[in-house]
Every structure is written in structure tokens, then in C-alpha cells.
Amino acid sequence: MTAPAGTRRALLRSSAAMLAGLSAAGVAGCGAKSGPHTHHLLSRRLRRDDVRLLNEVLALEQRTIAAYTATGSLLTGYAQKAAGQFLGQELLHAGELRSMITSLGGTAHNPSEHYEFGQPRGHRPLLELLHGLEQAQLVAYLHVFPLLSAGFVRQGVASILANDAQHVFVLRSELGSPALPAALLTPTE
Amino acid sequence: MLTRRELVRGNPALAHPDDPGHLTRLIAFETLAIQVYGLAEESTHIGVRGKRLVSELRRQELAHAVALQEALERLAPGGAPAASLPGQTASIGAALTAGVEQTLTAVEIPADFAKLTDERAWFHLLEELENRLQGAYNGALRDLVDPSAATLAARILASEAQHSTALSRLRHPGNVAQAVPTGLVVGILRARS
């Protein structure tokens, strides 16, 4: 049984308040694993640049959180379990990114007021939506990674990227696509 | 004070002198993985589906080693130290097995190939190996300075994470918590107490 269109639209539009609460709450994460002294080796400009880049990927994580929140109840079986598992992990990612941004002396941006994901109908379109969002995250992370300066930021971002790669693997498997298309993660995966 | 131009340019002359050392260590880990996956391919205790996955993962570990070697050549042309882990050997046959066991033990993965008498045991070993690989990459990422080398390490870490998920899904079908257990992939950095 699928939800009525109006309900679906409401489900696919998430409130900023809920997202702000979810993404900022309690998922403080490990944050800066290296000592704070390493930040001072970087110029203020480099720290500011890292903050800007981290906010860019944080925005994508927040969007993906909204999508998992909206679609979880519309999925069934293993996909629903995966969505629940991945939502928790995306929340952790957002918390880690916020923590890194704060460590660099920056301010983490809040989620958007609402997100529009269209009206995917059925199991497969929902999975394709989630896969598209996860893949967009991979592309973004691979784009910003070489531009990051702080070692602890690279380490943290890499651990997030790797987890998102696992999400992509699972979603591709559920969609019947080759799950391990290449030995090296590429932006076009 | 480091500037972006100095960091992003990727000039080998500006890379941290430890970068080649980090890459050689990662190559050594990949070599170990290639050897272990090779032994798994030869095992009679792994089924058809498992063998297919093992072969693909071995192929990917080889690709990782090649990419790392290319990065190492760029950072230290012709002058990179030989990569090896404690006890690592290029021997074949029974000597390879003994050598691999010794190296696995040295990197804190208990292994006795004589006791790997079913697919479950083999996959458990391979999952431990992937965790250790992830730990090696996670550790290197903290210290690698050359942006290109660090990005390569991040891409390979992501691939190793997918390997873990692939192995877990075969061993624990339907269990997504086992397949993707944690939101931050850090692997095993040191011996479990």
C-alpha cells in the first residue's frame, strides 16, 4: 500500500527544525582526533577554506538526511532496514563535519528550510533517489578532498567518504547494478 | 606557515619527506592482501560465489598496489625504499603460506591456514584483513601531505570499506548492521586488547 500523494509530498518535505535537531543533536562524534595544536600550523585563510569546503559537503549530508527521513517508512524489507541504518550514519557524518568546522574556528551551516525530492513512486524510484544523493556526496567529497589542508580533516572526511561508499554499494546491490564497478572510487561510480 | 598554493600544487619537491614511507607501508599491506586473497582463491573450502568475490577483490587489491606504486614513483622517482612488512616474503607454495601467516601475525591478525577448513573461517580472516587495511589507510591519511597521494589513499580506503561490506553480505545475508556497522570507517589501528 502506498501513501496518498498529499501525504507523500508532506513526507518528502522535511522541516528545518526537525533536521536541525537531528543533525546537531547528540552526534558529537570524535571530532578532531589530532591535537588542536595542528590547526595553528595552517594559515587563517586555509582554515577558512577548509570550513567553506566542509560546509559544502555538510549541506549535502543534510539533504541526504532529509531524504532518508522522508523515505524510510515508504521502503520495505532489507531496503527499509538499510535506510534506517544509513540515516543514523548520515547523522553521525553531519555531527562529525560540524565538529570539524567548529574545531577550525568556523560556523556550521544549518539545514535548508525544506527539500524537494519530487514524488518518486514505488520501491525502485525511492532507491534510485537515495542512490543519487549518496553518489552526489561521493562526487563532492572526491572534489573537495585534495583541497583540504588540515590532516585531521582529511582523515575524518576520508572515513565519512568510505562509509558513504558502503551505502552506495548496498543501494547499487538493491538496484541490481554492479556493486563493485571499479577498484578505485571514482566520481562517476 | 603553509599556504594553499604549496599544499595543492602537488609538487613532489614540496611533499613531506615521510610521504614515500607511508606509501611504501601501504604497498606492503596491499601485497599482503594480494597474497592472502591468492591463497583464498586456491582454497577448496570456498564456494563458487565466494570464489568469484575473492577473485574480484584480489584483482582490486592488485590495482590498489599498482596505483600506490605509481604515486610512490612520482614522489620518490627511482629512490623509494623496498616495501615490506615484518616477515613478509616473496616466496611461493608452502613457504608463501608460512610467510603470510607470519606476516599476518606481525600485523596482529591471528592466522593459522591449517584451521581454515570452511568458507566461514576464510571470510572471517578476509574481513579481519580488510579491517587492518582500513586501519593502515586511516592512519596514513592523518599524516600524508601530498594532496594527490592523500586523495589516492582516501579513494582506496573507500574501496576497502566496500570490500568489507561485500564480504559481510555474503557471510551474513540480510544483515545490514553487519554489512555497514559503523558510520566512520577507521578500521583496526592497533591490536585489540
Question: Mind listing the pLDDT tens digit for each residue in A25-41?
Answer: 333 333 333 333 455 56
What DSSP character marks residue B9?
Answer: S
| Per-window interface: A 54-73 vs B, CB < 8 A | none
Burial grade of B82 (CB within 10 A; 0-12, 13-18, 19 or more) = exposed
- Predicted confidence at residue B82, as pLDDT, reads 56
Nearest CA in chain B to A32: B142
- Predicted confidence at residue B109, as pLDDT, reads 87
- Predicted confidence at residue B190, as pLDDT, reads 56
pLDDT in tens, chain B (193 residues): 444 444 444 444 555 679 999 999 999 999 999 999 999 999 999 999 999 999 999 999 999 999 999 999 999 887 665 556 655 555 455 556 778 888 888 888 888 888 999 999 999 999 999 999 999 999 999 999 999 999 999 999 999 999 999 999 998 999 999 999 999 999 987 544 3
Spatial distance between the Cα atoms of A28 and A51, rounded to a whole number of angstroms = 17
Q: Confirm if B36 and B129 have CB atoms less than 8 A apart.
A: yes
- Predicted confidence at residue B21, as pLDDT, reads 92
Spatial distance between the Cα atoms of A26 and A140, rounded to a whole number of angstroms = 25
- Predicted confidence at residue B188, as pLDDT, reads 87
**How wide is the angle at C-alpha B32 spanned by C-alphas B29 and B38, nearest 5°?**
145
**Span A111-148, pLDDT tens digits:** 999 999 998 989 999 999 999 999 999 999 999 999 99
* Whether the complex's predicted ipTM surpasses the cut of 0.90: no
* Contact yes or no for A180 and B60 at CB 8 A: yes
Burial grade of A125 (CB within 10 A; 0-12, 13-18, 19 or more) = middle
Ranges of residues in chain A with a pLDDT under 50 are 1-37
**DSSP letter string, B118-175:** SHHHHHHHHHHHHHHHHHHHHHHHHH--SHHHHHHHHHHHHHHHHHHHHHHHHHSTT-
* Contact yes or no for A46 and B7 at CB 8 A: yes
Q: What separation in angstroms does the CA of B159 have from each of B5, B30, B121? A: 29, 12, 23
- Predicted confidence at residue B2, as pLDDT, reads 42
Q: Confirm if B54 and B40 have CB atoms less than 8 A apart.
A: yes
- Annotate B37-75 with b (16+ C-beta within 10 A) or e (fewer): bbbbeebeebeeebeebbebbbebbbbbbebbbebbebb
- Predicted confidence at residue A22, as pLDDT, reads 42
Spatial distance between the Cα atoms of B145 and B153, rounded to a whole number of angstroms = 11
User: What are residue B2's DSSP bridge partners?
Assistant: A42
Rounded to the nearest angstrom, the minimum Cα separation between B4 and chain A is 6
* Contact yes or no for A161 and B3 at CB 8 A: no
Burial grade of A188 (CB within 10 A; 0-12, 13-18, 19 or more) = exposed
Q: Confirm if A14 and A66 have CB atoms less than 8 A apart.
A: yes
- Predicted confidence at residue A27, as pLDDT, reads 35
* Contact yes or no for B155 and A78 at CB 8 A: no
